[in-house]
A and B are shown apart, each in its own frame.
Chain A
Amino acid sequence: MKNTAYKNSTVIAAKYLPALAVMTFATSAFAQEAATSDAGATASGLKAIGAGIALGLGAVGTGLAQGPIGAAAAGVVAERPEKFGQMAIWFFIPETLVIFGFVGFFLLRG
């Protein structure tokens, strides 16, 4: 049981590590570019980090939520293809998380 949990957490870490790494590098790249000009640019650098985190975490959250919903929806649609529309709505609801991330991203970049 413990081994399975350990394996699962390793798999999860391996799955999401590249996305987190890209997010970190992208935000630090934004930050580096912004911080070179003057002291006032520190604020814009931090904003860029915040924008990256808002978008990245929103996307990760959406992925985490859509995994089990998608599996259950696939099961439901396999039995009742007419339920596809209803299941699609449930499946797309977590997309709001990434939309909120986008809103945060544009607010911070604006």
Chain B
Amino acid sequence: MNNPYGYINGRVRMMRTALVESRALDEAASTVNYQEFLRQISETPLREDLGDATAQGAGLGQLDEALSRNYLKAITQLRSIATGQPAREIEALLLRYDLQNVKTLVRGVQTGRSADDIVAGLIPAGTIPWSVLQGAAQSADVPGLAQTLSVAGGKLGTILRAAVAGGASSLLDVEVALDQGYYRAVLAGVRGTNVRRYFTREIDVRNLLIARQLRGGAPNARYFIPGGRDVSEADFLRIAGGDNSVSSPELQAITEAPDLGSAEAVARRLLDEASRNVAMADALGPGVALDFLRRKEQEIARMRLIGRAKYYGLGKDELQKELEGA
């Protein structure tokens, strides 16, 4: 009766109308050069945050900064409108950015990239303070990174430390440990049935992608993420062993995709659909916020891709292919 999501979702729905429309994205993608692209996006709701990105001689750094500013503003606004239980649920949804950021940090540190490069790939959202992420990017190795994040890196920092202490050494080991911890935390944090359904679908998709990645090697159940609905541990091992059949026909497309890149694109489409469904079915729950976060994430990712494509003069077809995978 007295559901706080009535108010929150009213606001989130209005925030959703401020997202860049797909027509404007298409127009931005079909511009002839970078200057034209900047002119095009300065006519969208992003214009308020563009700042130095449109100045004479500005490059991709300024564009990334502007997009990050816009992204952070949206996330901050979303966090500011929720209190009590909804605030805790929205925090649980924001853990996905922590997950992505910690994975970016692990990859960057493991491959020896510079701190500036790593920071450029981070998303200015989530629950880990930006200064902590910047500090963590300076780490010399993964155990050092885990040590830094365990202090102020929230749930994911603790999970990373436990994984490293438990002997996770390869990138896949660490990433799966982070995924397992993340899904455990998020399923414990959200109570809405529809949102849970979305996350169980996401776990199934992630399990299928991991199983595909494991093909050709010895299938191992320790890479399985519990909590899914349609993909059991036995299915996971079977698919990792080379079998393509899944009980859900929609998920079958992931196992049958010709390569891992196409499988990821199919997975992304499935999850977009699932998040749209949850937003429609969950009018008085966190589903609307979940869908907004997903759409905002995609908007920024696509803008970054188009910006890069225009800056480096990438062909239209190549850009289209990149956008499909985004």
Residues in chain A within 8 A of chain B (CB atoms): 1, 8, 11-12, 67-68, 71-76, 78-80, 83
Tell me which of B3-11, B56-64, B244-252, B294-302 binds A: B3-11
Is B1 a contact of A74 with CB atoms below 8 Å?
A: no
Is B7 a contact of A74 with CB atoms below 8 Å?
A: yes
Taking CB atoms, residues of chain A closer than 8 Å to B12 are 75
Is A76 a contact of B11 with CB atoms below 8 Å?
A: yes
Chain B residue at minimum C-beta to C-beta distance from A72: B10
Taking CB atoms, residues of chain A closer than 8 Å to B11 are 75-76, 78-79
Taking CB atoms, residues of chain A closer than 8 Å to B81 are 75, 78
If over half of A's interface residues share one DSSP class (helix, strand or loop), that class is named, otherwise mixed; here it is: helix
How many residues on B have C-beta within 8 angstroms of the other chain's C-beta atoms?
A: 17
Is B10 a contact of A76 with CB atoms below 8 Å?
A: yes
* Alpha-carbon distance between A67 and B13 when the two chains are bound, in angstroms: 18
Chain A residue at minimum C-beta to C-beta distance from B11: A75
Within 8 A of A (CB), among B1-46: 1-4, 6-15
CB distance from B73 to the nearest CB of A (A): 13
Is B1 a contact of A75 with CB atoms below 8 Å?
A: no
- Check A72/B14 contact, CB under 8 A, given A11-B2, A12-B1: no
* Alpha-carbon distance between A75 and B14 when the two chains are bound, in angstroms: 8
CB distance from B265 to the nearest CB of A (A): 33
Taking CB atoms, residues of chain A closer than 8 Å to B1 are 8, 11-12, 67
Q: Which of A1, A8, A68, A79 is in CB contact (< 8 Å) with B15?
A: A79
Interface flag for B284 (CB, 8 Å)? yes
